[in-house]
Structure 1
Amino acid sequence: MDLELRHLRTICLLADTGSVTKAAAALSTSQPALTTQLQRIEREVGGALFHRGRSGVRPTELGDFVLVRARAVLLSMDDLLHDITARGASPTTLRVGGVGPLAIELSARLPEIFPNVPVHVRTEYSPKLVTDLVRAGRLDLGTTIDYVDRDLSTDGPLSWAMLAVEPLHVALWADHPLADKPSVALSDLADCPWALTPPDGTGWPECFYLACQRAGFTPQVPYRLYERSEIRDLIARRRAIAPCQSDFDTGGEVVIRRLEGEPIQLRHLLVWRRDSAVNGSSDDLARLAREVLGRVPHPTGPRTSFTAPRNEHPLGSIEG
């Protein structure tokens, strides 16, 4: 006899009820029939799974060993059956996460695609964490970022839609020698000290160092700071410069200038699992996210530096 899922469920039911009589009633079978089945299972596993007594049954040491693994197998099977059932079905709740305000703004418009479906939102600092939460099934939809040199086509069960490409700029103090220029060559900043935010798990700051290497220098980076306000204060005090997005808060003492040739490019992305309930609406979700992204409020006003997704992926969608 080979062990089957029904045998594992029988073992678990016996442990949960502590009684052959109660387990037999729950299975709509007779007590002798259940006892016979248990004996067959015990012969298959090579030992007794339960101590039997007047007070009922309790697991043996072997029984505890088998029960832990039986419950794990049954949970995995239940998850599999749930996922199969959920494919193509409409979600009952949408769990949305992201970095920055896009996730919040997008969530307000999701009823246009999924009417009467409650939406739960969470934001994170780390783009990698957002992606990991989607991969683990903890989020249905994620808004995240990465950098243009990264390959998205080999990322397991995930699908992506590229929403926009945004070049990074440089933040300088207001009377910096290059501040009077509309754009600055990265190579002209080779002798400046830089302040960088911590690694985000999706290619930062590796893409910055790569751009500097291509420009012919290794940057001096004495400051690694989490808070953008701290970075702004350093720049205002003429102690460092920093790569930044166009919405960087200048505070009047800092100016933002474009980097010539756009050597560092950030991508705004939408991510979901291909086996999730939102997959069938991915084109509509990507279109809506692009609309929202162009209207997300920022401290310095609407962004104007976004470009359309690259043409090598139809509709900007990339499957992992």
Structure 2
Amino acid sequence: MDLELRHLRTICLLADTGSVTKAAAALSTSQPALTTQLQRIEREVGGPLFHRGRSGVRPTELGEFVLVRARGVLLSMDDLLNDITARGASPSTLRVGGVGPLTVELSARLPEIFPNVPVHVRTEYSPKLVTDLVRAGRLDLGTTMDYVDRDLPSDGPLAWAMLAVDPLHVALWEEHPMAEKPFIQLEDLAESPWALTPPDGTGWPECFYLACQRAGFSPQVPYRLYERSEIRDLIADRRAIAPCQADFDAGKGVVVRQLDGAPIQLRHLLVWRRDSTVHQASARIARLARELLNRGELKEAPTPTE
């Protein structure tokens, strides 16, 4: 079997979702069929590309090697196709993608800036995937996230606007010893088990481990889950606590508290290509996005840290 572009897209999708089940659903195929295809790809490259476990899949050392090169090949091909499509043609649609509820809310307001231009919207789990899609010209505008400790690239085709910075909170069960405090020191949670979401490609969960290291402990992380509802159930059952955003569902049995000193800060970003149709209007778009975030009326939706 020769490797094809569709095989490279498959392994990238597996890495981005961290789940055979979710990747199979995205590809409109069955889990057994995707597993069989992955096994054929692994035979072709000469070794396993992913570690399999109850919490999902994560790249092996060989997998990381292949993924870096696969993404490069796919981005080059996307650039080629985008350049071919763009020759002599004016864009007839505005393609917007991102993570979290801001993506949908912002897309509904973009006709104020681009009247009579249809807006196509897609949401993703991985902020890195959103950035890659913008870089490849498959999205005109992206709403994404990263963490304050990371530097934004200042060269290359991408331009950025910082929209807001939010401190991460922690979700605990109601009877947790720290639950009565409005602000919690991260080091006071050193003995608690944690539930974390999979890597998002932009510094999560590395920034969490770094914050714990600065607080003087190594966290116990027996759970790695994607679904917000599953994490909430674990917390309510007193089996784990979890880092989260302030709007995490603090229903029956669960409370949300702010971490004292904001040891982990989430940064909301807008990203676009400097040569795209949105570049000239980027300042207006950024002001509109900040207005939506500051208003605090965005509909609840899963994000990489929840």
Shift of residue 251 of structure 1? 2.0
SS in 2 for 1:131: helix
**Is residue 134–residue 140 contact of structure 1 (8 Å, CA) maintained in 2?**
yes
Aligned residues: 223
CA distance, structure 2, for counterparts of residue 113 and residue 194 of structure 1:
43
SS in 1 for 2:221: strand
**Is residue 292–residue 298 contact of structure 2 (8 Å, CA) maintained in 1?**
no
Q: 1:83-133, CA deviations, whole angstroms, 9 ceiling, x for partnerless residues?
A: 6x67xx7x4210000111111111111111111111000111111111111
SS in 2 for 1:209: helix
Question: CA 1:155/1:267 → structure 2, altered by over 3 Å: closer, same or farther?
Answer: farther
Per the alignment, residue 255 of structure 1 pairs with: 255
- Amino acid across the alignment from 1:178: M
Per the alignment, residue 105 of structure 2 pairs with: 105
SS in 1 for 2:208: helix
SS in 1 for 2:243: strand
Per the alignment, residue 161 of structure 1 pairs with: 161
**Is residue 168–residue 246 contact of structure 2 (8 Å, CA) maintained in 1?**
yes
Q: 1:36-57, CA deviations, whole angstroms, 9 ceiling, x for partnerless residues?
A: xxxxxxxxxxxxxxxxxxxxxx
Shift of residue 80 of structure 1? 7.1
- Amino acid across the alignment from 2:293: L
Q: 1:142-163, CA deviations, whole angstroms, 9 ceiling, x for partnerless residues?
A: 0011101111124621111010
Q: What aligned pairs does 1:123-162 form with structure 2 within 5 A after superposition?
A: 123-154=123-154, 156-162=156-162
CA distance, structure 2, for counterparts of residue 154 and residue 117 of structure 1:
30
Question: CA 1:113/1:298 → structure 2, altered by over 3 Å: closer, same or farther?
Answer: closer
Q: What aligned pairs does 1:291-306 form with structure 2 within 5 A after superposition?
A: 291-295=291-295, 296-298=297-299
Per the alignment, residue 281 of structure 1 pairs with: 281
Per the alignment, residue 240 of structure 1 pairs with: 240
- Amino acid across the alignment from 2:242: A
CA distance, structure 2, for counterparts of residue 298 and residue 142 of structure 1:
18
In our comparison, the structure showing a higher alpha carbon Rg is 1
- Amino acid across the alignment from 1:288: L
Per the alignment, residue 83 of structure 2 pairs with: 79
**Is residue 247–residue 298 contact of structure 1 (8 Å, CA) maintained in 2?**
no
CA distance, structure 1, for counterparts of residue 252 and residue 185 of structure 2:
23
Per the alignment, residue 25 of structure 1 pairs with: none
CA distance, structure 1, for counterparts of residue 146 and residue 81 of structure 2:
35
Question: CA 1:226/1:76 → structure 2, altered by over 3 Å: closer, same or farther?
Answer: closer
SS in 1 for 2:229: helix
CA distance, structure 1, for counterparts of residue 81 and residue 174 of structure 2:
62
Shift of residue 298 of structure 1? 4.1
Shift of residue 293 of structure 1? 2.0
CA distance, structure 2, for counterparts of residue 226 and residue 254 of structure 1:
18
Question: CA 1:299/1:278 → structure 2, altered by over 3 Å: closer, same or farther?
Answer: closer
Question: CA 1:77/1:167 → structure 2, altered by over 3 Å: closer, same or farther?
Answer: closer
**Is residue 131–residue 271 contact of structure 2 (8 Å, CA) maintained in 1?**
yes
- Amino acid across the alignment from 2:294: G
Question: CA 1:297/1:241 → structure 2, altered by over 3 Å: closer, same or farther?
Answer: same
Per the alignment, residue 305 of structure 1 pairs with: none
**Is residue 171–residue 235 contact of structure 1 (8 Å, CA) maintained in 2?**
yes
CA distance, structure 2, for counterparts of residue 132 and residue 107 of structure 1:
19
Question: CA 1:125/1:77 → structure 2, altered by over 3 Å: closer, same or farther?
Answer: closer
In the alignment, structure 2 segments of 5+ residues that lack a partner are: 1-75, 302-306
In the alignment, structure 1 segments of 5+ residues that lack a partner are: 1-71, 301-320
CA distance, structure 2, for counterparts of residue 109 and residue 269 of structure 1:
17
Q: 1:251-273, CA deviations, whole angstroms, 9 ceiling, x for partnerless residues?
A: 22100011000000000110000
CA distance, structure 2, for counterparts of residue 293 and residue 92 of structure 1:
28
Shift of residue 81 of structure 1? 9.7
- Amino acid across the alignment from 1:250: A
Identity between Structure 1 and Structure 2 (%): 76
Q: Give me the TM-score of the superposition, normalised by structure 2.
A: 0.69
Q: Determine if the alignment matches structure 1 residue 270 to structure 2 residue 270.
A: yes
Moved more, 125-134 or 154-163: 154-163
- Amino acid across the alignment from 2:173: W
SS in 1 for 2:160: strand
Shift of residue 77 of structure 1? 10
SS in 2 for 1:294: helix
**Is residue 135–residue 157 contact of structure 1 (8 Å, CA) maintained in 2?**
yes
Per the alignment, residue 228 of structure 2 pairs with: 228
Moved more, 149-158 or 237-246: 149-158
Q: 1:53-80, CA deviations, whole angstroms, 9 ceiling, x for partnerless residues?
A: xxxxxxxxxxxxxxxxxxx9xx959927
**Is residue 102–residue 298 contact of structure 2 (8 Å, CA) maintained in 1?**
no
Question: CA 1:182/1:76 → structure 2, altered by over 3 Å: closer, same or farther?
Answer: closer
